[in-house]
Copies of this chain bind each other. A is one copy, B any other.
């Protein structure tokens, strides 16, 4: 148990995803996965005064639903590992501040769901906690305001651009459970290929995803076929092609196994979302609403879930820095 290869851990002690929840906005609800989510909110501010407060409300509701589904109370949760895209994690802070749960705030850009589940699994796998909460959120309005242009400006978007998902996924990771088990994690490094186009985040993140998948296969001594799916967070269609090519050059063909949450969550043809969905919430709600049910039912036996993050701020971007990527991998298996 424990250390596995260069960047991975395997858990001897059982680590389950005891429950999960997903809340999304209207556009996500209208998309191909719409019927999979626990709750769809029509109002972009979720009844609050701003997009940021609305995102916090998503965080709060998602956390409450996950805890309730686990048949637990807030005081049963020993730690929360949670993050979002906004500067200084305000969506997380104001979403969780009344929950009275010891909190590790984390930031991995859109890889946050993988980072939260990874750290949560480490805590449970070590016997530090019976139950922890892992949460990741994003919001189209608050993210556009933070990173891009005022929505009112109506800026055109290139075809490589992605659409930030409004949504929050929450997970109770536990020493008890059934159906879906975290059996290992692979922790990502920053990978920088020098891309600096913030409208092509797929290209920024694909090298980090390729690096993570390669290392996971090596560390666990597996072939792509050992996974039913290898699921990236939000590479989109442009990033997907780069990922497949990079891995092919390194001897792995994952074209049969690869799936990208950003490609699945919207219908690019009718929803005008260009390369796909993105944001911490994209992979989090897709895991909660779409992937975990397939693992629990046994339709899939083992997946590598690796949310992908583009590490930039408007300050770093405006100062001419590149946009490095990172990815955090979680191996989730069906348990009958």
Contacts and interface: CB of A to CB of B under 8 A. Distances in A.
Given A119-B104, A128-B126, A88 B188 contact: no
Chain copies in the assembled complex: 2
A9 interface: yes
A7 B132 CA distance: 12
Q: Choose among A7, A85, A100, A126 the residue with the greatest number of B CB atoms under 10 Å from its CB.
A: A126
A192 B108 CA distance: 25
Contact of A87 (B126, B190, B315): B315
Contact of A3 (B86, B89, B93, B129): B129
Nearest to A314: B87
A279 interface: no
Contact of A94 (B79, B98, B101, B321): B321
Contacts of A107: 83, 88-89, 105-107
A187 interface: yes
Contacts of A108: 104-105
Contacts of A123: 122
Contacts of A118: 104
Contacts of A119: 104, 119
A176 B115 CA distance: 27
Contacts of A268: none
Given A50-B319, A122-B123, A90 B313 contact: yes
Given A105-B115, A313-B86, A316-B90, A126 B126 contact: yes
A186 to B, nearest CB: 8
B94 A326 contact: no
Contacts of A145: 315
A118 B52 CA distance: 29
A46 interface: no
Contact of A190 (B79, B96, B319, B326): B96
A157 interface: no
A125 interface: yes
Given A3-B127, A127-B2, A128-B2, A312 B90 contact: yes
Given A3-B127, A90-B315, 4 more contacts: A103-B189, A104-B118, A105-B115, A126-B128
Interface of A: 2-3, 7, 9, 49-50, 52-53, 78-79, 83, 85-90, 93-94, 96-98, 100-109, 115, 118-119, 122-123, 125-129, 145-146, 187-190, 192, 311-316, 319, 321, 324, 326
7 contacts: A88-B316, A89-B311, A93-B316, A97-B190, A102-B189, A104-B106, A104-B119
Report, nearest first, the 7 A-B pairs whose CB atoms are least far apart: A87-B87, A126-B126, A102-B187, A88-B313, A97-B190, A90-B316, A93-B311
